[in-house]
Amino acid sequence: MSASLMDPSVPGLVARAESTGQMLNFDVERFLRIQTGALGIAETIRPLMRDLLGRGLRRLFVMGTGGVQLLTLPAIDLIRGACDFPVAALHPAQVVLAPPAGLDETALVVIPSLSGTTRESVDLLDFLKRCGVTTLALTGHPDTPLAREASHAFTNFAEYDTSSESFYLQTLIIALALLAETGAMADFDAVLAELRLLPGLLVDAKRRYEPEAAQLAAAIRAEPWHILTGAGATWPQAHYYAMCILEEMQWIRTRPVHAADFFHGTLELVEPGVSVFVLKGEDALRPLTERVERFVHRYTHKVWVLDAAQAALPGIGPRTRAMISPIVLATLLERLSAHLEVQRDHPLTTRRYYKRVEY
C-alpha cells in the first residue's frame, strides 16, 4: 500500500518475508485475544450508558495522556458528526490546572491509560473525584490506581504493539453506545456484529501487507525525517505514528500535519528526496489526503501511501469501514514498525528519557 518503493537494500529480510508468509515477531493468537477482548466492552458499556443517561448524564469528556488520547479522537468525531451531545477531548495535565466548565455530577470522563499508572492521569482522577465527576478508566492492567479508583473500569490486557487497535475499538464502541442510547443510531447491533469480524480480518491484512512492510522499512530505514499527513479518522493515526513510534520509539524526526493544513506551510518543505507518508481513509475527508497525494508526487519520489480502502474486509460494509480506517492503518503500520526496529537495530522498547528520568 505504499506508492513508491526504492529498491530494498536489505534483500535477505525482504525475500524471507515474501517467500515464507511468516510475520516477523508477531503472535497471532495473542493479537486475536487482545482485540477480541477489546470488543468485550460492548457487553457492559451500553447498559452503563443507559443507566448514566437516566441519572442525568449531560456531557462526555475524554482525557488521555500522550498518544493514547490521539487514539480516542475518531470516536469523538463520530459523536460530533452524528448528534449534538456535548463531547470534548482534553489533556489531563491541563484540566487539573485550568478545568473547563461542566466538570460536575452531570459529566462522564473516560480516562484511557495502557499502564493504568500514568502520573498525569492518576492526578486527574484524584481531581475529578473531588469534583464529583463519574469516571470510566480504560486500562491494560487491573491492579492499578486508575482501574481501582475510577467509578467504572474496563481492563483489557494489551502492550504497545497491540494497544492502538484495542483503544480504537474500545472508544469506538463507547461512542456507538452513546449514539444508540440517545436515539442517534438505530443499528448498534448490526455494526457491532461487523466489528466482531475485525480481529481475524486484521490478521489477514497484516499477513498480506508483510512483504511490503519489509520493503518499506528497507526503503526508509536511513531517512532522517518524515512528513506524515492524514485527514478525518486517519489524521489521529498519522499524528500517533509520527509522535509515538517514529519519534519516541525510533528517535526519527517527523512533521505530522493535518491534510487540511498541508498547503498552509508544510508544502514549502517538500522537495526532491523528502519522505512523505499519506494515510488515506474511507470517510468524507478522503479528498483532502488525495489532494496532498497529487501534489507531493510532483516534487518527491519518496511518497508512501497507505490506503485503508485497499484492505480486504469481507463482511464489513462501507459505513463501518469508514469508522475503522484508523484501525486498519494502525494494524498495517505495526508491521512496518516490526521491520524498522530490526533493520535499524533499534528496539521499539529503547528509551533515553521516557519513564527513565524525572521530568
Give me the DSSP letters along 228-243.
Answer: EEE-GGGHHHHHHIII
DSSP string of 238-289, one letter each residue: HHHIIIIIIITTT--EEEEEEGGGTTTTGGGG--TT-EEEEEE-SSTTHHHH
- Whether residue 173 is found in the same domain as residue 221: no
- Whether residue 104 is found in the same domain as residue 230: no
- Whether residue 304 is found in the same domain as residue 219: yes
- Whether residue 41 is found in the same domain as residue 105: yes
- Whether residue 167 is found in the same domain as residue 291: no
pLDDT at residue 21 in the model? 63
- Whether residue 112 is found in the same domain as residue 250: no
Q: Per the domain annotation, does 350 fall within a domain?
A: no
Q: Per the domain annotation, does 5 fall within a domain?
A: no
- Whether residue 39 is found in the same domain as residue 187: yes
pLDDT at residue 359 in the model? 87
Q: Per the domain annotation, does 138 fall within a domain?
A: yes
Report helix angle 42-54 to 160-181, nearest 10. Answer: 40
- Whether residue 182 is found in the same domain as residue 299: no
Boundary residue ending a domain (156, 177, 195): 195
pLDDT at residue 9 in the model? 38
- Whether residue 68 is found in the same domain as residue 130: yes
Q: Per the domain annotation, does 6 fall within a domain?
A: no
Buried b (16+ CB within 10 A) or exposed e, 55-91: eebebbbbbbbbbbbbbbbbbbbbbeeeeebebebbe
pLDDT at residue 190 in the model? 98
pLDDT at residue 13 in the model? 41
**Which CATH number does the domain housing residue 250 bear?**
3.40.50.10490
Number of domains in the chain: 2
Boundary residue ending a domain (155, 173, 195): 195
Q: Per the domain annotation, does 60 fall within a domain?
A: yes
Residues 6+ apart with CB under 8 A from 268: none
Nine-digit cell string for 139: 486500562
Boundary residue ending a domain (163, 180, 195): 195
The Cα-based distances of 341 to 20, 78, 145, 250 in angstroms read: 20, 34, 32, 7
d(CA 5, CA 212): 9
Other beta carbons within 10 angstroms of residue 224's beta carbon come to 7
d(CA 340, CA 221): 6
Q: What DSSP element (H or E) covers 171?
A: helix 160-181
Residue 309 carries which DSSP code? G
Q: Per the domain annotation, does 355 fall within a domain?
A: no
- Whether residue 177 is found in the same domain as residue 155: yes
Q: Per the domain annotation, does 322 fall within a domain?
A: yes
**Across the strands, what pairs with 110?**
62, 136
- Whether residue 169 is found in the same domain as residue 35: yes
Other beta carbons within 10 angstroms of residue 147's beta carbon come to 19
Q: Per the domain annotation, does 2 fall within a domain?
A: no
What totals of helices (H) and strands (E) does the chain contain, helices first? 14, 9
Residue-level pLDDT, tens digit, the chain, 359 residues: 444 333 333 334 443 444 346 899 999 999 999 999 999 999 999 999 999 999 999 999 999 999 999 999 999 999 999 999 999 999 999 999 999 999 999 999 999 999 999 999 999 999 999 999 999 999 999 999 999 999 999 999 999 899 999 999 999 999 999 999 999 999 999 999 999 999 999 999 999 999 999 999 999 999 999 999 999 999 999 999 999 999 999 999 999 999 999 999 999 999 999 999 999 999 999 999 999 999 999 999 999 999 999 999 999 999 999 999 999 999 999 999 999 999 999 999 999 999 899 98
Residues 6+ apart with CB under 8 A from 77: 232, 233
Cβ 210 vs Cβ 258: under 8 Å = no
> Residue 183's domain spans which residues?
30-195
- Whether residue 253 is found in the same domain as residue 162: no
